[in-house]
């Protein structure tokens, strides 16, 4: 179960097997059932989670009560509400399992302790936060500057095979469109092939 985590962090820092044992010790394996809420708006986020398998949607409810999906977290992605975690404020996000899933969770307290005893972990999480910032910037630019057709094609590229596991409503929520409009886009793209 920790092999996937080791493979993931090895992209960013070098850890010996012994160091990795120390690094992974505070992580707890958690299983979530389909539709189970991991974090609810208004609660405080006290964790970061590394997805071993399954899928989560990270979303919020806009002023009109409509769900807006920020991203899907699949295998080897991380889940958290970074604002709530870092600033100790109530979360505005919801994290929900879209299928039975497993996650390695680490608490904020344990992560801070890792920084003290293993300084290279601070580098790891700094790099991961930078990559997350880039991904969020690209997501904002896509939502504000690209057509729905282009966003749909990018979704298919970014999440290969995931569309078949999601409802049309979930994909539409990610794209920022209605599921009716998504049907039109799919039809148009299939006719162009």
Q: What is the pLDDT of residues 6-24, one digit of tens each?
A: 999 999 999 999 999 999 9
pLDDT confidence band for 191 (50 / 70 / 90) = confident
Percentage with pLDDT > 90 across the chain: 88
Long-range contacts of 6-12 (CB under 8 A, 24+ apart): 8/50, 8/76, 9/124, 12/123, 12/124, 12/127, 12/128
pTM score, two decimals? Answer: 0.91
DSSP letter for each residue of 120-187: HHHHHHHHHHHHHHHHHHHHHHHHHHS-HHHHHHHHHHHSTTTGGGS-HHHHHHHHTS-HHHHHHHHH
- Decide if pLDDT at 168 tops 80: yes
Residue 80 scores a pLDDT above 80: yes
Helix (H, G, I), strand (E, B) or coil at 57: strand
The model's confidence at residue 93, banded by pLDDT at 50, 70 and 90, is: very high
User: Tens of pLDDT along 124-139?
Assistant: 999 999 999 999 899 9
Tokens standing for residue 64: 């009109």
Beta bridge partners of 107: 47
CB count within 10 Å of CB 68 equals 13
């Amino acid at each position: 179960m920790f092999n996937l985590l080791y493979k993931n962090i090895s992209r960013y820092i070098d850890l010996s097997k012994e160091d990795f044992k120390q690094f992974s010790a505070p992580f707890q394996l958690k299983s979530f059932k389909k539709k189970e809420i991991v974090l609810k708006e208004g609660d405080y986020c006290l964790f970061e989670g590394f997805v071993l398998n399954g899928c989560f949607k990270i979303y919020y409810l806009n002023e009109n009560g409509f769900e807006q999906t920020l991203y899907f977290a699949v295998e080897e992605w991380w889940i958290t509400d970074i604002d709530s975690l870092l600033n100790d404020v109530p979360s505005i996000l919801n994290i929900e399992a879209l299928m039975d899933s497993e996650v390695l969770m680490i608490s904020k307290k344990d992560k801070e302790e890792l920084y003290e005893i293993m300084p290279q972990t601070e580098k790891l999480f700094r790099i991961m936060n930078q990559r997350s910032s880039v991904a969020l910037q690209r997501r904002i630019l896509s939502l504000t500057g690209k057509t729905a057709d282009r966003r749909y094609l990018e979704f298919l590229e970014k999440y290969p095979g995931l569309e078949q596991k999601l409802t049309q409503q979930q994909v539409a929520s990610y794209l920022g469109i209605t599921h009716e409009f998504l049907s039109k886009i799919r039809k148009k793209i299939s006719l162009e092939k």
